[in-house]
Structure 1
């Protein structure tokens, strides 16, 4: 995400440190300057303006922990205690999705890093910045405690995550650690963004500084490294689009910047270009705009496919899986319209992870961030005029909703009705979500999916996003599948403990339903009984008390809600509780099922 100096970002409120500081305020410690290696590390984190560091405690970074509490006074950064390393990293991920800026997360030696790997991979696939700090038992074997330090020391700990971080390091001194943090903070915020990992030697942390480190001007080590396409190529792209009769814009990874949002709307209107967006990334264009083709989904809906097939020029703004989308539209035929790709993502493609997707046909490539290219195109096209006014939130009538068992679409409509005219940020959506029922009209109306498809990331990502939104006036709402919620459920405690208001709605079909669909496909393909698809998938006998698990962590909880009639009053009460400062979980028992577009995409993928 680009957050250029002087630009108005969608999440431009100041960081509020007061709540965490008031909750966990340490006894004052008289200090006159850094005394230990970890003090220098803590100072560097503050100098980098890292607001929070989410942790699951571990002896390998006990030196840094002490420095954050007793040297910095648990302020800037504030510690956020988590019950699992995966959630610590997921919270940093969610924070970055809203702000475009990195948080830190600290994980305990190799064992904590193993726990954190799924969340790091999610952030990698989502191209989100964060600084993950790890630690190791003393590198000097003579300094290791018997047994425990040995099993918590690895010769190359960074190898655990190296294929899905932008950079990693294991500095051997306090000065080297400070430099590693500076380099890591710079790299993680430079497009294409992604997590970095810095592993701190326990002995270095705990050892006394032989002499003070010289002062350093942090800003000089974080140079802006924005990539720009040659003006001639931007002009060529603009001319191709201007001459087209049926251009289409595929809008993928872009920032939460409000000016950039308006620029994209202005470009589409200037060109008369149809626009396609999806739910893998955050809101990027008003989805009820007259030029938006169909509703956003994880996979393109028929209206979007039709627009792409009819296009005479396609502009991809860092679209996720361009090749897959073109294949869905054109099948095995040649992609006839010329394709313009605007992206720098190729710079971090590697041979381990296939998250770069299949190689797409591209006729004109602009190696730059979309937020930098779109204003240039507008200037070349001499675009002027007022963009179409955003529609006001329209009331949603519920008279047509059937009574009885709840479908996910019905649940979404009732929730939108209960939210009324409030500014809502959707922090997570389930695979069964129909993008047509809730229009996005602002960059923070939806912050995107988990990136790597890792079940269990939703709760932590939601907590991190709600943390970033605290004080913004927006209502943070997360809609989670039951499997996702249960795998990441202890992130709820962190939200409650640090007073991070949040509404979590669990779309509970009591099954790992996506895999039921896959078992049904296998049964059809092999001529075996479809009736057995539920075995090893259903979470019943006993039923899981989702609301009870939430209450046990201090959240306000409702449910299970079984009928549409009970949903309206439940959601209204839940929203009031969130607005009063609570973390709220609502267990809604829903019927299993997917949208037609999702079902069609799964059918194509199984053929």
Structure 2
């Protein structure tokens, strides 16, 4: 990829313009890529990236929509836990990218978002266009769902602004930051030489640990428990952190649960992993919560909502609850992504992975090094078998089963799944096996997230696969062009039910509550008459594509071709027509 889009005469050894300072700071911070959809508000910055930096570190990734600018950076962060850069043109580009920013905020990933406004000096504005693309407080558009924003007023102020932004986005809990660059300031020639600060002196702090007394108290609680339950929520991609979680569960003899909304945090085929990773608790999970005498939440997202599925009075849950999370640092009055307030006998303001590393030796001392788990399996996941009518049609779970059967010994990264994903056939065995939900539950993110994840894993030999919904794909499909243009391989599988089916479920629920005909649920929801040729849309952007495939044998053959293409370094697209329905039906209000 490094040989793509190289300037004819690359690089300039001297800082000359305001925008050169911003570009130089990104290089000093070792930001590898910067996704963008071009805009005149940051034309000075664009020039600096090309003609000052030579389009390297960061290398530009041209996108066809601001949604993809943000979602590609989001997917990259899901793999690396590090910030990529994204540029959004003036107020209009920022408005376009807000859904992606909200996704990244809810998913707690780092991201360096740069934008532009102005010129702030009205005497430098062109008639009409520069006026409508200038805002007095552009950061206000995203202040409710970014960790920090700024608009530096001089070239000398840019280094600190960008350093602070990087420090904050990289510190736990992570979230996007936004720095707005005045168009006039970008194009202002520097009056004197500038020396950039040493970035090593502005590194993000280490993740905060828990007080030792609290670690000992929770260790004693776990050691004395008969039925401890561990909830592993947000966690890092580091293999050593994964291994410590496994050792801790085995040492404590604790049953484990994980969420399909979050990135893989624990091996789902491990004997202590009680139920498949879920959106909603099944009967076995609810019973385990009722029987647990100690529950330890390791940064579980929406702990109160988890308990609410067992009892409407969550404060009456019998188990002692320890809740380890830093997330409250980000809670604000604009967004309700802080969820309901959970009961916690032992609230712990610490990084969950750091706390696991503290808890392990404390528990080992109390137990004398003896493992409490007897080796017996509590895992309730069913066998990976196709549906009864697989020769004639594809059920949503059949896509998952087909991937199980074709994965073999390959290490794949599952970048995205649909809401219809069962989660009980395809097991996660290392921290890069699954990258979780898109965060904010909006559409259009899936294709871009997949491209970003594949970018991060491009040279690792690890194929990236995504299972996307048809609505998500239709709104985000032009992200595929970026994958083709920059030679980023990924396998895109559309689980295509030709409907906005989640909303069909909601319309059915409303109709039943109101005593009206539920059979009308499809009106204004179905994507049919005509059906969209998704494969043609992929091929139009240069992606090898096939479909629709309508039976499981056809799907298996398509997956073989797709995996072969990705392993050869090319993106591939499969449109799989599935029977409408969900393996795990979502909850609807009023049920």
TM over 0.5: yes
Q: CA deviation at 1:399?
A: 10
Q: CA deviation at 1:287?
A: 0.6
What does residue 165 of structure 1 align with? 146
Partner SS, residue 534 of structure 1: coil
Cα distance in 1 between the residues matched to 2:170 and 2:42: 24
CA contact (8 A) 1:502 1:582 kept: yes
What does residue 5 of structure 1 align with? none
Matched, 1:346 2:328: yes
Of 412, 416, 431, which residue of structure 2 is paired with 1:428?
Answer: 416
TM-score (norm 1): 0.93
Q: CA deviation at 1:283?
A: 0.3
Cα RMSD (Å) of the superposition? 1.9
Q: CA deviation at 1:488?
A: 0.6
Q: Deviations over 1:370-418 (max 9, x none)?
A: 1101111111122758998999xx9967697731111011122112212
Partner SS, residue 60 of structure 2: strand
What does residue 95 of structure 2 align with? 114
Cα distance in 2 between the residues matched to 1:389 and 1:257: 27
Partner SS, residue 588 of structure 1: strand
CA contact (8 A) 2:258 2:277 kept: yes
Cα distance in 2 between the residues matched to 1:502 and 1:407: 23
Of 377, 380, 393, which residue of structure 2 is paired with 1:405?
Answer: 393
Of 154, 172, 177, which residue of structure 1 is paired with 2:158?
Answer: 177
Q: CA deviation at 1:24?
A: 0.5
What does residue 28 of structure 1 align with? 9
Range moving further from structure 2, 276-285 or 322-331: 322-331
| TM alignment of 1:66-465, pairs within 5 A | 66-332=47-313, 334-382=316-364, 384=369, 402-465=390-453
Partner SS, residue 196 of structure 1: strand
Going from structure 1 to structure 2, the CA distance change for 1:336 and 1:389 (only over 3 Å counts) comes to closer
What does residue 591 of structure 1 align with? 579
Cα distance in 2 between the residues matched to 1:406 and 1:88: 33
Range moving further from structure 2, 572-581 or 108-117: 572-581
Cα distance in 1 between the residues matched to 2:11 and 2:481: 32
Q: Deviations over 1:523-569 (max 9, x none)?
A: 11111111110000000111100000000000010100011221121
What does residue 602 of structure 1 align with? 587
Partner SS, residue 310 of structure 2: helix
Partner SS, residue 558 of structure 1: strand
CA contact (8 A) 2:251 2:364 kept: no
Going from structure 1 to structure 2, the CA distance change for 1:223 and 1:408 (only over 3 Å counts) comes to closer
Matched, 1:513 2:501: yes
Cα distance in 2 between the residues matched to 1:396 and 1:247: 29
Q: Deviations over 1:503-524 (max 9, x none)?
A: 0000000000000000000111
Partner SS, residue 116 of structure 1: helix
Cα distance in 2 between the residues matched to 1:327 and 1:137: 48
CA contact (8 A) 1:234 1:377 kept: yes
Partner SS, residue 91 of structure 1: helix
CA contact (8 A) 2:120 2:184 kept: yes
What does residue 62 of structure 1 align with? 43
What does residue 475 of structure 2 align with? 487
Cα distance in 1 between the residues matched to 2:385 and 2:178: 49
Cα distance in 2 between the residues matched to 1:250 and 1:408: 27
TM-score (norm 2): 0.96
> How many pairs were matched up?
582
Q: CA deviation at 1:330?
A: 2.5
Going from structure 1 to structure 2, the CA distance change for 1:516 and 1:206 (only over 3 Å counts) comes to same
CA contact (8 A) 2:420 2:581 kept: yes
Cα distance in 2 between the residues matched to 1:590 and 1:402: 10
Partner SS, residue 309 of structure 2: helix
Q: CA deviation at 1:308?
A: 1.2
CA contact (8 A) 1:295 1:301 kept: no
Going from structure 1 to structure 2, the CA distance change for 1:30 and 1:127 (only over 3 Å counts) comes to closer
Cα distance in 1 between the residues matched to 2:235 and 2:11: 46
Cα distance in 2 between the residues matched to 1:517 and 1:73: 52
